[in-house]
Amino acid sequence: MKKHNFYAGPSIMSQFTIEETAKAVKDFADMGLSILEISHRSKQFQAVMDETVALFKELLEIPEGYSVLFLGGGASLQFAMVPMNMLIHKAAYLDTGVWASKAIKEAKLFGEVDVVASSKDRNYNYIPRDYTVPKDVDYFHYTSNNTIYGTEIRKDPEVGVRMIADMSSDIFSRPVDVAKYDLIYGGAQKNLAPAGVTFVIVKDDTLGKADRVIPTMLNYETHVKKGSMFNTPPVLPIFSALQTLKYYKQLGGVKVIEKMDMDKAEVLYNAIDSSKMFVATVPNHEDRSIMNVCFVMKPEYKDLEKDFIDFATERGMMGIKGHRDVGGFRASLYNALPMESVKALVDVMKEFESKH
Ligand SMILES: *Cc1c(COP(=O)(O)O)cnc(C)c1O
């Protein structure tokens, strides 16, 4: 039976990425050796690193003066590295979920943090709108896509100060005006590569301003100077990232991908909104994520949730159980997920409904 992959992360990768990675594990760049057993300083791997950075910059139209880094530690290490390197006196943070609050917790270790707004009062099922960001902050930090709750900020906010964003789960799903940001980061395991690599886009001239001791490995300047090769980088995930970027370019780039993602999300949200049994957890359509669609059963059908998961899993729908903080179901529709899978899920939902 065909499996449809709705896992939230690590998550579906393009077939192209998986096949090219499998080939390189057997024989990389006609070296007669696996990519797993060669030096990261070989000219063959250096070529992979250079091409990955170049294609990343090309696809996101990153302006001059920015570096793209590939580091370890996940997005979670960035929660601390960002304020360690960039927080001088005060920073503003928007609290839209668990990941955002984890970033806030780390920032507080390094300076004053102004949490300008929070949607915690309704279990993070909306994006706060009425807030102002003080002009005297070093940066405004937000999470563009809230993977757990299925909310998303799809337009670069206009807040009048330099921005930093965690784009772990929606990078390459829309054009980004990178010039408005000092830094953008994310774990790669949602829209880019297997787990193990973190991307960082950083404006070079913002570095070196914080007046504190920064350990070498946690200093962005180290990695900018050494082109992400200060120590051994995550070689295989970087190779896979390059394959995904090639696949994105071949699809036509981020604008084309955005249209495909919007179409997929529309099909699923329409099915949920017109159903007698299911209801989306995010009421405001503008706040709904096109990457992670969260839904539950209406109160009168609540006791059928477990049955639906079993029913859907038996029919090849993998990873649709909701996060424990939200319950119900979550279908992640990342870039590599085909429309065919969304339609298959909708069919299974309709079939289940007709039986009850
Ligand atoms: C998955 C995720 C994280 C955590 O990433 P790690 O690489 O596991 O540290 C952080 N932020 C967002 C928005 C995520 O989706």
What is the tens place of the pLDDT at every residue in 219-273? 999 999 999 999 999 999 999 999 999 999 999 999 999 999 999 999 999 999 9
The answer to whether 249 and 57 have CB atoms below 8 angstroms apart is no
Verify whether residue 30 is a known catalytic residue.
no
pLDDT digits (tens, 9 = 90+) for 332-350: 999 999 999 999 999 999 9
Q: Give percent of the chain above pLDDT 90.
A: 99
For residue 1, the model assigns a pLDDT of 87
Verify whether residue 99 is a known catalytic residue.
yes
Mean per-residue pLDDT over the chain, rounded = 98
For residue 89, the model assigns a pLDDT of 96
Q: How far is the CA of 74 from the centre of ligand 1 (A)?
A: 7
For residue 152, the model assigns a pLDDT of 98
293 Cβ inside 6 Å of ligand 1: no
For residue 138, the model assigns a pLDDT of 98
Q: How confident is the model at residue 188 (pLDDT cuts 50, 70, 90)?
A: very high
Instruction: Report the residue among 153, 169, 185 best suited for mutation to probe ligand 1: largest number of ligand atoms under 8 A from its CB.
Output: 169
Q: How far is the CA of 272 from the centre of ligand 1 (A)?
A: 27
pTM over 0.95: yes
Verify whether residue 166 is a known catalytic residue.
yes
The answer to whether 170 and 293 have CB atoms below 8 angstroms apart is no
Comparing C-alpha atoms, which of 127, 138, 135, 130 is closest to residue 160?
135
Catalytic residue among 170, 182, 190, 287: 190
pLDDT digits (tens, 9 = 90+) for 312-335: 999 999 999 999 999 999 999 999
Q: How confident is the model at residue 208 (pLDDT cuts 50, 70, 90)?
A: very high
Question: What is the mean pLDDT of the segment spanning 280-307?
Answer: 98
Q: Above 90 in pLDDT, residue 202? A: yes
